[in-house]
Amino acid sequence: MDIGTTTQTLHPLDPLGLAELAAFRALVIAHPGYAPSMRFATVELREPPRPVVEAWQPGTAVVRAAQAVLLDTATGVVIEVVADLNRATIASWEAPPLGQPPYGQPPIILDEFVRVGQIVRADPAWRAAVLRRGLTEADIDLVQVDPFSAGNFGYPEEQGRRLVRAVAYWRGDIRDNGYAHPIEGVVAVVDLIENRVLTLVDDPIAIPVPRKKRNYGREALPAPRTDLKPLSIVQPEGPSFSTDGWEVRWQNWHFRVGFTPREGLVLHQLGVEGRSVIHRASITEMVVPYGDPTTNHYWKNAFDAGEYGLGKLANQLELGCDCKGLIRYFDIPCANDDGEPELMKNAVCMHEEDYGILWKHYEFRNDIREVRRSRRLVVSFFATVGNYDYGFYWYLYQDGTIQLEGKLTGIIQTAAIAPGEPYKWGAMVDENLGGPTHQHFFNARLHMALDGSGNTVTEHEFQPRPWGTDNPHGNAFNVTSRVLARERDAAREADGRTGRYWKITNPNRTNSVGNPPAYKLVVNASPLLLAQEGSAVHRRAGFATKHVWVTQYDPAERFAAGDYPNQHQGGAGLPAYIAQNRNIENADIVVWHTFGHTHVCKPEDFPIMPVEYAGFMLKPNGFFAANPALDLPDDSGHSTLAADEPPSCCCE
Ligand code: CO
């Protein structure tokens, strides 16, 4: 789909098209403040605030505005620019004060990935450090240099500079998996404006580089197994969804697809049976803090959304590769680092999946047998951020369930371990090769719209009930409920022991049994941030210290770790948002959910780890008057068996 040349009527939430991106760039480069050394770190639609979107009527004029963060690679100056595309003017051109506390930098741009490798490989002290670890001069051209977001550890010489910390990996061949060969104890702190190594950390003890190859290019893989027969997904009558521009309809669901450089996929105006549920849903941040205190690792805590950009690093998916079945891909118009429009082909994938049984009963007394299969709509994208690959899959189900599933795969970070030494801060994955223990935290931002904008979050849990005249058998238990009324009371932790859960309700409506209609936030009792309070990552990833946060909607509060997490001192994002302690009862609210994993590495994770999952669900809870999928057709006759195969069981 090429939004840039479509004649379809625009919707206020449509991503910027190619023509709009080109017009925006032209306005920016014509501005007197523009310099050719400026790069476009992010370019996106300036989304109208919710009231504006909801007041808009189809067929009427659409307000279109674009915004970008510009980075002057010669001076380090950062500009936030907003353009009014209807009037073709620059609406604002401002330099945020990122050179002073609490600092912050735009995300790392693609050009810097390349530049850092050149700077580091040319640095004499770095070359000496790697030669001391057994590399030769001839090895250096093939060394893989990874520019890692630098964090902010309060080192005076680093404040206000644009930096990355670079670690490196030996490779004997360009197709080698560098992560099998970490160069331990050498970290180059690179100033990206002065284009030089600011500081080189070179541990006195030189741990040898592990040399055992652990490659995954197909020439290095074992011979493929031969006992796998084809499994084909066939939809002879086509898919059951329809699209109109960025709008999608499937079963009783409707929503709009959006996409930003930082978050990637965004779902707008998601609703079911003509009722609204969520105004806007996305993953606004994720962070991976490492638990190894040594030279190459203690500072590693990449914020993959705010420091790199999940959308900018989205994969261009290929049919038959990532997904099966009848796929509808969305091409995403975007801007490259020079602000030039480009089309990310097949960046968002949508298809249907069979998902087993949705409901079933066999009544032996009267021989009623009814069973219906579940089908789900999948809207997804994959982002590769350095060593890791993350899939973000939104699932919609026929019973009103909404699910987000993160898929974690790719390659773990590695550490070289001296021969014969134990690895204290992680686990061994191969000879002399360790995987540092780390955590992955994602944060979903859910701007709720449950039957309208006045929403309330309630918290529920189960407690044993004391013996008493009303509990003479001791079997009764209490279900406690409370309203989360203010922001500071709504920073909450999951508790599997009490089954704590949350409902998003609309107190202004009444459901079929006299209660407010609701959706339940189903969370997994996943770990919270393990780093110490006061540590750099604890300050910067405050969102990972609680599972659930609720804020009053403010269009300026978009990201769980704040606007500029890269090199930020900390405190921004959710901890700052909730410090206002605004009312969140019967209000326009945003629910933020943090979830993740603590990852202790194992040999099976290497060289590429099988997918690990992390996510949550939203399930209707008094939203419908009955099971909303009772009207599903009986699909049980559609099962096909090969002629020479006896029916093995049933059609389930
Ligand atoms: Co991991």
Q: pLDDT per residue over 121-172, tens digit each?
A: 999 999 999 999 999 999 999 999 999 999 999 999 999 999 999 999 999 9
CA of 297 to the centre of ligand 1 (A): 14
CA of 438 to the centre of ligand 1 (A): 6
CA dist 186 and 181 (Å) reads 13
CA dist 430 and 419 (Å) reads 11
The answer to whether 313 and 325 have CB atoms below 8 angstroms apart is no
Kindly state the DSSP code that residue 122 receives in the 8-state scheme. Answer: H
CA of 411 to the centre of ligand 1 (A): 8
Q: Kindly tell me if the per-residue pLDDT of 98 is higher than 50.
A: yes
Q: Kindly tell me if the per-residue pLDDT of 2 is higher than 60.
A: no
CA dist 652 and 641 (Å) reads 13
Judge residue 515's burial from the number of C-beta atoms within 10 Å of its C-beta, 0-12 exposed, 13-18 middle, 19 or more buried. middle
CA dist 366 and 139 (Å) reads 77
**What would the pLDDT profile of 621-650 be if each residue is shown by its tens digit?**
999 999 999 999 998 765 555 445 544 443
CA of 384 to the centre of ligand 1 (A): 13
Residue 130's φ and ψ, nearest 5 degrees, are: -80, -30
CA of 352 to the centre of ligand 1 (A): 29
CA dist 102 and 152 (Å) reads 10
Catalytic residue of the set 14, 146, 304, 605? 304
CA of 532 to the centre of ligand 1 (A): 20
pTM: 0.95
pLDDT for 325 equals 83
Catalytic residue of the set 103, 388, 395, 397? 388
CATH 2.70.98.20 spans which residues of the chain? Answer: 241-620
CA of 387 to the centre of ligand 1 (A): 10
Q: Kindly tell me if the per-residue pLDDT of 549 is higher than 70.
A: yes
Domain range 18-96, CATH class = alpha beta
Q: Kindly tell me if the per-residue pLDDT of 498 is higher than 70.
A: yes
pLDDT for 499 equals 93
Bridge pairing between strands 518-522 and 477-484? unpaired
How many helices (H) does the chain have, and how many strands (E)? 6, 30
Mean pLDDT of the chain: 95
- Is 304 considered catalytic here? yes
Query: In this structure, which topology does domain 110-220 adopt according to CATH?
Result: Nuclear Transport Factor 2; Chain: A, (3.10.450)
Q: Quickly count: other Cβ atoms within 10 Å of residue 368's Cβ.
A: 9
- Pick the closest to residue 311 from 398, 227, 384 (CA basis): 384
CA dist 334 and 409 (Å) reads 25
9 — pLDDT class (breaks 50, 70, 90)? confident
Judge residue 518's burial from the number of C-beta atoms within 10 Å of its C-beta, 0-12 exposed, 13-18 middle, 19 or more buried. buried
- Pick the closest to residue 354 from 229, 231, 233, 230 (CA basis): 233
**What would the pLDDT profile of 45-57 be if each residue is shown by its tens digit?**
999 999 999 999 9
Grouping H, G, I as helix, E, B as strand and the rest as coil, residue 469 is coil
- Pick the closest to residue 565 from 545, 541, 596 (CA basis): 541
CATH 3.10.450.40 spans which residues of the chain? Answer: 18-96, 110-220
For 241-620, the fitting CATH number among 2.30.30.90, 2.70.98.20, 3.40.47.10, 3.40.50.10190 is: 2.70.98.20
CA of 536 to the centre of ligand 1 (A): 20
Q: Kindly tell me if the per-residue pLDDT of 228 is higher than 80.
A: yes
| Positive/negative CA dihedral, 498, 499, 504, 508 | negative
- Is 72 considered catalytic here? no
pLDDT for 6 equals 38
- Pick the closest to residue 559 from 276, 311, 349 (CA basis): 311
Q: Kindly tell me if the per-residue pLDDT of 538 is higher than 50.
A: yes
CA of 393 to the centre of ligand 1 (A): 18
CA of 333 to the centre of ligand 1 (A): 31
Q: Which residues pair with 289 in a beta bridge?
A: 301
